[in-house]
Amino acid sequence: MTPFALKNGQLCAEAVTFSDIAERFGTPCYVYSRAALEAALDEFHQELIGVDSLVCYAVKANSNLAVLNVFAQRGAGFDIVSTGELKRALAAGATPKKIVFSGVGKSKSEMEFALSVGILCFNVESAPELDRLNEVAAHLGKKAPISLRVNPNVDAKTHPYISTGLKENKFGVAYEDALKLYQHAASLPNLEIVGIDCHIGSQLLDPAPFAEALDKILLLIDQLAAKGIHLHHIDLGGGLGIQYKDEQAPTVKSYLQPLLKKLKDRSLKILLEPGRRLVGNAGVLLTQVEYLKPGEVKNFAVIDAAMNDLARPSLYDAWHNIVPVVPRSGKSINWEVVGPICESGDFLGHDRPLSIEPGDLLAIMSVGAYGMAMSSNYNTRPRAAEVMVDQSQVFLVRRRETVEDLLALECLLP
């Protein structure tokens, strides 16, 4: 599925040229392909036909309401980490009974709200969280459905900032403590144990660690059963990687088949929490070249998008392909592609061979995940617009912020 391709010398999103989008909505602008979003979710659903399962999209990867709505319409559930994300999912048409709540720091009010909505499961990450949730549920006269997020201590071999399944991470409960904590949970009257959960990291390109984690979790499930604790579901988290450059991303089939085989004879519902995989390659950041500053040591192309719009290059040293919307035939030279922000770390790409002139449009590829979602207003830069393309139509799904929007939240001293 290549929703973004050259047609008649112009880069297009489905059937619309990026030049048209820039003219109508301005730059910088996030552009999503509805077909690409749907295809990514369908790839999971295809492998899960006939399997008792639920794909819970990890909202944090891209929380735009229209994106969530596309997934909700196709039957997806949601993995949320805050009241804000829960309200987004509900506003986008999510079914509460398809929502799981992850995160190490759930506040009392977040628990109250999720309980009142009636979500599928709280993925609990510590002993004190069990006690707090039990108390909050008791106060509301409810039983909170829970899983424990267990840290299987496998090495996901990814960037240290996005590896979450090792002992030194803040996430989850230690594998060795899980049995004891489940027994504690079973003793709390306002909790109902429904499952077990793990999430070992992000942008994983090797399916092996997932299988390794599952083996450990299954061992634990057997130990729990021996103690009379029976689970209804197993949540294998997210983390499946995508292709950004020349890496080989596994197919969903090669990721899921080994896991489904291990789970075949268990009567466990399977939950998955993919984020990046569902949205990463479905989004592009459309931007314009403002100035060219060729120099003795480096050539700088200053564009109108910056690290506040797309933090991944500065934050993780992530590589995103940068391609001209209307390619020129002239000779390419290497450019440092940078934004207008007053930080040396404000770059979108290093050493990119491009043939460009001021005013040219560029597309920064594979930014559908952790792009807009991690954007900020640094340098009082209003956030970019977001649009969704559906075949030959383009819909504005978040209007560009104005400076007035930003100032409206502040006031002078009396």
- Shortest Cβ distance from residue 135 to ligand PLP (Å)? 23
Active site residues: 342
Alpha helix (H) residue ranges in 7-61: 18-25, 34-47
Query: What residues are paired with 56 via a beta bridge?
Result: 77
Q: In this chain, which of 238, 250, 324, 371 binds ligand PLP, going by CB under 6 A?
A: 238
The answer to whether residue 59 forms part of the interface with ligand PLP (CB under 6 A) is: no
Q: Is residue 52 within 8 Å of residue 270, measured between CB atoms? A: yes
Evaluate the omega torsion of the peptide bond into residue 340 and state whether it is cis, within 30 degrees of 0.
Answer: no
Question: Residue 316, SS3?
Answer: helix
Cα–Cα distance, 294 to 23 (Å, whole number)? 27
Q: Shortest distance, CB of residue 380 to ligand PLP, whole angstroms?
A: 29
The nearer residue to ligand PLP, 29 or 61, going by C-beta atoms, is: 61
Interface residue with ligand PLP, options 88, 98, 199, 233 (CB under 6 A): 199
CB of 203 to ligand PLP, least distance (A): 6
Between vectors from CA 188 to CA 183 and to CA 191, what angle results, nearest 5°?
100
Give Cα separations from 394 to 14, 37, 72 (angstroms). 10, 15, 20
Q: Is 79 in the site for ligand PLP (CB under 6 A)?
A: yes
Would you say 168 or 410 has its CB closer to ligand PLP? 168
**Under the criterion CB under 6 A, does residue 147 sit at the interface with ligand PLP?**
no
Q: Which of 61, 94, 221, 285 binds ligand PLP (CB under 6 A)?
A: 61
Q: Shortest approach of ligand PLP to residue 355 CB, angstroms?
A: 34
Candidate ranges 4-12, 86-94, 272-280, 339-347; the one touching ligand PLP (CB under 6 A): 272-280
Residue in 216, 276, 352, 381 binding ligand PLP, rule: CB under 6 A = 276
Using CB under 6 A, pick the residue from 275, 313, 368, 371 that binds ligand PLP.
275
User: In 3-state terms, what secondary structure has residue 414?
Assistant: coil
Closest approach of Cβ 58 to ligand PLP, in Å?
A: 3
Residues 348-387 that bind ligand PLP (CB under 6 A): 369
Q: How many residues bind ligand PLP, per CB under 6 A?
A: 16
Q: Pick the binder of ligand PLP from 202, 308, 314, 375 (CB under 6 A).
A: 202
Residue pair 45/77 in contact (Cβ under 8 Å)? The answer is no
- Cα(75)–Cα(78) distance, rounded to whole angstroms? 10
Taking CB under 6 A as the rule, does residue 239 contact ligand PLP? Answer: yes
What length does the chain have? 414
Residues 345, 323: contact at Cβ < 8 Å?
A: no
Stretch of 1-9, 63-71, 232-240, 352-360 lying at the interface with ligand PLP (CB under 6 A) = 232-240
Closer to ligand PLP by CB, 94 or 369: give it.
369
Residues 99-118 that bind ligand PLP (CB under 6 A): 102
Residue among 280 and 324 whose Cβ is closer to ligand PLP: 280
Give me the helices (H) in 161-289, please.
Answer: 178-187, 208-226, 252-263, 276-279
Per rule CB under 6 A, is residue 277 in the interface with ligand PLP?
yes
Q: Given the complex with ligand PLP, which of 60 and 352 has the nearer CB atom? A: 60
| Cα separations in angstroms, 137 against 96, 101, 112, 131 | 17, 15, 7, 10
In the complex, the smallest distance separating the C-beta of residue 301 from ligand PLP, rounded to whole angstroms, is 30
Distance between CA atoms of 287 and 181, rounded to whole angstroms?
50
Q: Which span (31-39, 275-283, 309-317, 336-344) binds ligand PLP, by CB under 6 A?
A: 275-283
| Residue nearest ligand PLP, Cβ-based | 275
- Give the strand pairing for 283-293 and 300-303: antiparallel
User: What is the DSSP code (8-state) at residue 327?
Assistant: -
Residue 269 interacts with ligand PLP (CB under 6 A): yes or no: no
Distance CA 339, CA 303 (A): 5
Choices 53-61, 312-320, 325-333, 399-407; region in contact with ligand PLP by CB under 6 A: 53-61
Measure the CA–CA gap between 353 and 186, rounded to whole angstroms.
60
Q: Which amino acid is at 42?
A: D
Determine contact, residues 161/316, Cβ cutoff 8 Å.
yes
Any contact of residue 339 with ligand PLP (CB under 6 A)?
no
Asked if 156 contacts 165 with a C-beta cutoff of 8 angstroms, the reply is yes
**Chain positions contacting ligand PLP, by CB under 6 A:** 58, 60-61, 79, 102, 199, 202, 237-239, 273-277, 369
